[in-house]
Amino acid sequence: MSPSSPENADTLRRVLVGVSAGIAAYKTPELVRRLRERGCEVRVVMTRGGKEFITPLTLQAVSGHRVHETLLDAEAEAGMGHIELARWAEDIVIAPATADLLARLSAGMADDLLTTLVLASRARLWLAPAMNHVMWDHPAVRRNVETLKQRGATLLGPDSGSQACGEEGYGRMLAPDEIASAVVMASVAGSDRLKGKRFVVTAGPTHEALDPVRFIGNRSSGKMGFAVAEALVDAGAEVTLIAGPVHLSARGDIQRIDVKTAAQMRDAVMDQMPADGFVSVAAVADYRPASRSAQKIKRSGDSMALELVPNPDIVREVAGLDVRPFVVGFAAETGNVGENARGKLAAKNLDLIAANRVGDDCGFDACENSLVVYSSDQEWDLGSASKRELGQKLVDVIVEQMQSRQRR
């Protein structure tokens, strides 16, 4: 029996997939397949431009349903009209969501079937942007995205990497499997497991200035921290995300605070205390320059000495508070991962530590990762997966441990 057969249709999550006019539309059939594999019933709506990139017949074949294309369609109105279709959907997932489509949604336009459905539906709206990285960085696009997030839309991506134009950067559509996982995970039972709990999460690098143009930093992209923040929200928590310098967008249901330096991150974290939980995912610089030059440092001689002083150890300080949250640290290691992680767990008085190996080929600025989580007496190997999936698995461990301690 297929996932969308009539026999079990009443038990399925009803997902409407919208396809706008972007080259990433070639990934949409895979998204439909992944949603159906996870037990969703899927209907597809295409814009006129979307049909230039992929045929309705392809999406009809993978969804098992006729594709909806036209707002003024007499045949559709006689069966499932746009109002019925809007009421039918529990989730609307637009993938790809082009810059044009985001602008029309932000303006509240209803000039085709897809935009009309969004306005006429109370379904959760998920947007998977896909466009050239320069377009994604344009202030008009960012303003439209922020407007949609404020109205309750959830952003999925974009991701970074090579693009159809031959350039690289943020703007490519998130992988179909990650989109499907996010939509389905938000619908599963237990989404209120952390209801009433408030978490603070740090993400990304810190930049420690040498002079007005140079800094000490690292290659952290912030993706893991953002994934953890989203997974905590999906579990019902209220989340404040404190982010270093990253090129990522946070969901509208996450409070975001942007910082640059370790000292700024420390102050922002302490301002948010007390909290029920603190997850320190950020790759905070251990040291900063002892002094910052007011002018660009000029080259002189064959070498130069740089004096560094320690930065605050944020996670250790939080773990030592009198009113102490549940504290989770991260250990990014290039070798002896388990041994080093357990050492940090004990030395910093953490409840959990998530450890991963980093280097030229893994960890930082990658979409996938691998994690092993340690407590004082247990170990959880979360395996290798997308950072979004690992974030969900880590939150499962956090919930389990917090509930276990409450029962003691």
Judge if the upstream peptide bond of residue 176 is cis by omega within 30 degrees of 0: no
pLDDT bin (cut points 50, 70, 90) of residue 189 is very low
Number of separate domains in the chain = 2
pLDDT bin (cut points 50, 70, 90) of residue 252 is low
- Asked if 394 and 258 sit in the same domain, the reply is yes
- Asked if 162 and 269 sit in the same domain, the reply is no
Q: What is the pLDDT of residue 368?
A: 65
Closest by Cα among 380, 379, 383 to 369: 383
Mean predicted confidence (pLDDT) in 125-150: 90
Has residue 290 been placed in a domain? yes
Q: What is the pLDDT of residue 132?
A: 87
pLDDT tens-digit series, residues 311-329 = 999 999 999 999 999 999 9
Domain boundary among 132, 152, 185: 185
Q: What is the pLDDT of residue 236?
A: 86
Q: What is the largest CA-CA distance in the chain?
A: 81
Closest by Cα among 279, 305, 257, 258 to 397: 279
Closest by Cα among 285, 265, 284 to 200: 265
Full residue range of the structural domain in which residue 128 is found: 12-185
- Asked if 172 and 211 sit in the same domain, the reply is no
Helix (H) or strand (E) holding 63: helix 56-63
CATH code, 172:
3.40.50.1950
How much of the chain, in percent, has pLDDT values that exceed 90?
A: 52
- Asked if 177 and 215 sit in the same domain, the reply is no
pLDDT tens-digit series, residues 359-386 = 544 445 555 678 999 999 899 999 888 8
Has residue 224 been placed in a domain? yes
Structure tokens at 221: 């992209």
Q: What is the pLDDT of residue 6?
A: 35
Has residue 357 been placed in a domain? yes
- Asked if 296 and 380 sit in the same domain, the reply is yes
Q: What is the pLDDT of residue 392?
A: 87
Structure tokens at 217: 């930093």
> At how many degrees (to 10) do helices 176-185 and 28-37 cross?
40
- Asked if 204 and 180 sit in the same domain, the reply is no
Whether 367 is catalytic is: no
Residue 9 pLDDT greater than 50, yes or no = no
Q: What is the pLDDT of residue 158?
A: 85
Range with the largest mean pLDDT of 245-254, 255-264, 289-298: 255-264
pTM of the model: 0.66
pLDDT tens-digit series, residues 208-226 = 999 888 898 888 889 999 9
> Does residue 277 contact residue 399 with C-beta atoms inside 8 Å?
no
Give the residue with greater pLDDT, 304 vs 237. Answer: 237
Q: What is the pLDDT of residue 363?
A: 46
- Asked if 396 and 337 sit in the same domain, the reply is yes
Give the residue with greater pLDDT, 316 vs 83. Answer: 316
Has residue 177 been placed in a domain? yes
Structure tokens at 403: 């509930």
Structure tokens at 333: 């290691």
Question: How far is 59 from 47, CA to CA, in rounded Å?
Answer: 13
Residue 204 pLDDT greater than 70, yes or no = yes
Q: State CA 48 to chain mean position distance.
A: 29
Has residue 190 been placed in a domain? no
In single-letter form, the type of residue at position 113 comes to: L
Has residue 116 been placed in a domain? yes
Q: What is the pLDDT of residue 82?
A: 66
Residue 74 pLDDT greater than 80, yes or no = no
- Asked if 246 and 171 sit in the same domain, the reply is no
**DSSP character at residue 107:** T
Helix (H) or strand (E) holding 179: helix 176-185
Q: What is the pLDDT of residue 163?
A: 67
CATH code, 213:
3.40.50.10300
Domain boundary among 158, 185, 212: 185
Has residue 393 been placed in a domain? yes
Has residue 142 been placed in a domain? yes
How many Cα atoms within 13 Å fall on the side-chain side of residue 253? Answer: 21
- Asked if 256 and 277 sit in the same domain, the reply is yes
> Catalytic one among 40, 165, 362, 367?
165
Q: What is the pLDDT of residue 299?
A: 82
Identify the bridge partners of residue 359 per DSSP, sorted by sequence position: 362
- Asked if 51 and 124 sit in the same domain, the reply is yes
Domain boundary among 159, 185, 211: 185
- Asked if 235 and 172 sit in the same domain, the reply is no
- Asked if 60 and 134 sit in the same domain, the reply is yes
Mean predicted confidence (pLDDT) in 345-368: 74
Residue 407 pLDDT greater than 70, yes or no = no
Average pLDDT, the chain: 86
Helix (H) or strand (E) holding 373: strand 368-374
How much of the chain, in percent, has pLDDT values that exceed 70?
A: 87
Residue 7 pLDDT greater than 50, yes or no = no
